[in-house]
Amino acid sequence: MAKQPAAPAGQALRQRAEQLATALPPLLVEAERVAATVSQGVHGRRRVGTGESFWQFRRYQPGDPTTAIDWRQSAKRMALYIRQNEWEAAQSVWLWRDASPSMHYASHLSATEKGARATLLLLALACLLNRAGEQIGLLGEDRTPSTGRATLDRFATVLAQPADESARGLPAMTRLPRNAQVVWIGDFLSPLTEIDTMVRAFAAGGVAGHLLQVVDPAEEDLPFTGRTRFEGFEGEGDYTVGRVESLRGDYHRRLTDRHEGLKTIARGAGWSFATHRTDRPPQTALLALYTALSGGRA
């Protein structure tokens, strides 16, 4: 049988881009709708004035004031560059959501996967921060923060890509300016020691943080009865229980201990911690995040 010639690389890339683009408008529209609902009840974040300590040069982006252009540096690099000082950089907010396999879970009690809700919350928070003129970046993806509609479109493009099955449940350590803020959204099922180590590493650099744990209602309630087989998403294997209701008491105690452990880790670093169930409206979690970023002033 004759083989069909392979499609040119450019055509394959365009087809993939078109397929991806079809998923972007609903995601961004829904995120902006959630952000609009929350923005009606909050005030803008208090902003800090221009600092004097140099931090870095970054490429000029549409919307940047021309007065911030460093003409000498631009002449050296043959491109427009902005001079960023430490306090200005401190206004950056870096967002991350867990894309590990465990985030694919959705029980019969919720129509939304944990990963889908985490993505929606991250993008909605980005919409709110963008409206406030904040510099935002995707932790692990961006080297410099930015603002504007193009930033939101780029976020949506990155977040709509298929999840990497090898993704870790924690972000990689990244150097950020002191007094920057990070927001991590995930299920935080990694060992508490690993979470504590990563939180401490960021906090040691003067970075403030906010943890939002996204859980499925079945993970909190353990509503199953009778013989039940549990399947691991990340190579843990299967586990069958004869009468799962007999484990409910011990399960809830261990779940409570884990929540307290996460709270202790966050409190020790001066970070905030909250939990959100996927069977509840995303606006509540978004408001809590935005309030935490505002230092309780929202």
pTM: predicted TM-score of the whole model, two decimal places: 0.73
- Residue 277 is predicted with a pLDDT of 97
- Residue 296 is predicted with a pLDDT of 43
Q: Give span(s): CATH 3.40.50.410, the chain.
A: 14-41+91-293
- Residue 298 is predicted with a pLDDT of 36
- Residue 253 is predicted with a pLDDT of 95
14-41+91-293 CATH choice from 3.40.50.2000, 3.10.20.740, 3.20.20.110, 3.40.50.410: 3.40.50.410
Q: What is the pLDDT along the chain (298 residues), one digit of tens a residue?
A: 444 444 555 555 455 554 544 554 566 667 777 777 776 655 555 443 445 567 678 888 776 778 888 998 899 888 898 887 654 544 689 999 999 999 999 999 999 999 999 999 999 999 888 887 788 999 989 888 888 888 888 898 888 887 776 778 899 999 888 779 999 999 999 999 999 999 999 999 999 999 999 999 999 999 988 888 887 776 677 878 888 888 899 989 999 999 999 999 999 999 999 999 999 999 889 988 888 887 643 3
Q: Which amino acid is at 115?
A: G
Q: What is the pLDDT of residues 69-99, one digit of tens each?
A: 899 889 988 889 888 765 454 468 999 999 9
- Residue 20 is predicted with a pLDDT of 42
